Amino acid sequence: MNHVDAMEAPAVRDGQIKLHGREGFEGMRKAGRLAAECLDMLFERVRPGATTQELDKAAFEFITDHGALPATLGYRGYRHSLCTSINHVVCHGIPGPKPLRDGDIVNIDVTAIVDGWHGDTSRMYAVGTINRRAERLINVTYEALMRGIAAVRPGNTVGDIGHAIQTHAEGERCSVVRDFCGHGLGRLFHDAPNILHFGRPGDGEGLCPGMFFTIEPMINLGKPGVKVLSDGWTAVTRDRMLTAQFEHSIGVTETGHEIFTTSPQGLHRPPCS
Ligand code: MF3
Ligand code: CO
Ligand code: CO
């Protein structure tokens, strides 16, 4: 197939899927861990009255204090260390001065570059007390991610991942956003393959040991449609209903997978507050 040994391949996006060895796994463990620790650090800061620009500043300081860099800073003109996506914002919400309010749900997405490796992860946070619909959506989305991850093993395909996510989300009367997908990563932030969060069993690229990619389903309570606001970044649900997302960076191993972005403090999974 269209695979290449990552050690031989230039770090450019040419459509080929890079297969990494021990050095790559070690690099991704460090990068993934720092990104997860950053999200852990933010946990107690997410509360009513906090602003997302304060959180962004705390993340920048945390990452740079650890000798790393936020991958989004300067990425395609983006000027922040985090994406902070509140309520009906699907992804790429821009940190700003507006205070978080009791009952908001917010996805915080961070990517740390450590020794050239990218650790990309996001999770949902509850601001104060959230309602049952919001809590249910968060639970469905987390479970969808984990079912997608459970399908990651050699011999399966990217379609098996998407199918597992879609089946769970739609079985819970939620919908899967189709306009954004997971992605290969490693020494690049966004690389082949695309990881769609819907699909049919056996479709698409086969999974092989040494592949690195994210899985990052965006799941809506209403319809799947999204639009991007005039700032060029903020993606929102067209029907303005709630949406949620979780993201892990994953490596395919000989026997299954390794999650690089596990929370050291066990804070990734719901209840998130
Ligand atoms: N971290 C996002 C992802 O999961 C990408 C954000 S790019 C930005 O792929 F420029 F919007 F920050
Ligand atoms: Co990502
Ligand atoms: Co991300």
Average pLDDT over residues 35-43: 98
Whether the predicted model's global pTM rises above the 0.95 cut: yes
Q: Which residues, other chains included, contact 253 with Cβ-Cβ below 8 Å and sequence gap of 6+?
A: 209
CA proximity to 162, closest of 232, 123, 131, 170: 170
Percent over 70 (pLDDT), the chain: 99
Residue 111 near ligand 1, beta carbon < 6 Å:
yes
Query: What pLDDT does 1 receive?
Result: 59
Express each pLDDT in 65-86 by its tens digit.
999 999 999 999 999 999 999 9
Q: Looking at residue 250, what is its pLDDT?
A: 98
For residue 216 and ligand 1, the question of a CB distance below 6 A is answered with: yes
Instruction: Tell me which DSSP letter residue 84 carries.
Output: E
DSSP-derived letter for residue 206 is B
C-alpha torsion angle, residues 39, 207, 191, 57 (rounded to 10): 0
Burial class from Cβ neighbours inside 10 Å (0-12, 13-18, 19+) for residue 59 reads buried
The rounded Å distance from CA 222 to ligand 2 centre is: 23
Q: Is the CB of 120 under 6 A from ligand 1?
A: yes
What is the position in ligand 1's atom list of the atom closest to the CA of 71? 12
Q: Which position has the token pair 């989300």?
A: 169
pLDDT at 271 over 80: no
Distance 248 CA to ligand 2 centre (A): 8
Q: What is the pLDDT of residues 236-269, one digit of tens each?
A: 999 999 999 999 999 999 999 999 999 999 999 8
Integer Cα distance of 206 and 196 in angstroms: 13
Residue 270 has a pLDDT of: 85
Tokens for 229, please give them.
């606001």
Over 70: is that where the pLDDT of 92 sits? yes
Residue 247 Cβ inside 6 Å of ligand 1? The answer reads: yes
Contact 161, 199 (CB under 8 A): yes
